[in-house]
Amino acid sequence: MLPDSPMLAPGQTASPTLALAQNRVLRNTYALLALSMVPTIFGAWLGVQVNFSFFATHPAIGFMAFLAIAFGFMYGIERTKNSGWGVALLLGFTFFMGLMLSRMIGAVLGLGNGASLIALAFGGTSVIFVSMATLASTVKRDLSGMGKFLFVGVIMLALAMFANIFLQLPGMMIALSLIAIAIFSAFMLYDVNRIVTGGETNYITATLALYLDVYNVFVNLLAILGITGGSSD
């Protein structure tokens, strides 16, 4: 991977050299993001094969344990983002996230049209990502002001999803999934824009952010399709 680019000062116009460096960060980010899909797919496949479930005993405890492990990975990635260990931890994290995805994948595959729903969720996520990335690269204006609102939205969304672990309301789950798709689609726009404008200069950190955006859009899109479009035939 190529070295990171220097960050622009507020209001500074990018020189050709800085613009080239930002493009390198963006290319490295997209390359590592594509690579991160490999352990995710393998983790999901393995989880389906062994019937892996993190929430079987107690959903709330499983949710808290998942958060602890996930944040542990993210802390480690951030601490090692300037070395090869950052890449290794990122790929380990994406494998773990694939394992966490396996329960939903297995449930959807149990439907008559499960494979089609997964393909549709993947296609929909791809369209959203390409659209947001293109928009972020076209609109050169700094969108960093979105960050605070999106962060508050994620916190409120996480609390509502935790509450629904106990409530188990399908209608609430659909509503929260729609909100999640909107929030993380906006996060795609925000995170790519940070790279384009020089606000993020480390491709490992950038990849982690975009991976979480893509993962959450896919999971929530698949959840909606599984609830509303699933067929038992």
pLDDT value at 13 more than 60: no
- More confident of the two residues 224 and 147: 224
How does pLDDT run across 170-205, given as a tens digit for each residue?
Answer: 788 899 999 999 999 999 999 999 998 888 899 999
66-91 confidence digits (pLDDT tens):
889 999 999 999 999 999 999 999 99
Instruction: Check pLDDT > 80 for residue 17.
Output: no
The answer, yes or no, to whether residue 55 has pLDDT greater than 50, is: yes
- What's the pLDDT band for 1 if we cut at 50, 70, 90? very low
User: What is the C-alpha to C-alpha distance for residues 51 and 54, in angstroms, rounded to an integer?
Assistant: 10
Instruction: Enter the pTM of the model.
Output: 0.86
CA 209, 151, 125, 133 torsion: positive or negative? negative
Residue 217: is it exposed, middle or buried by C-beta count within 10 angstroms (0-12/13-18/19+)?
buried
Give the chain's largest Cα–Cα span: 59
User: What pLDDT does 16 receive?
Assistant: 67
Average pLDDT of the chain is 86
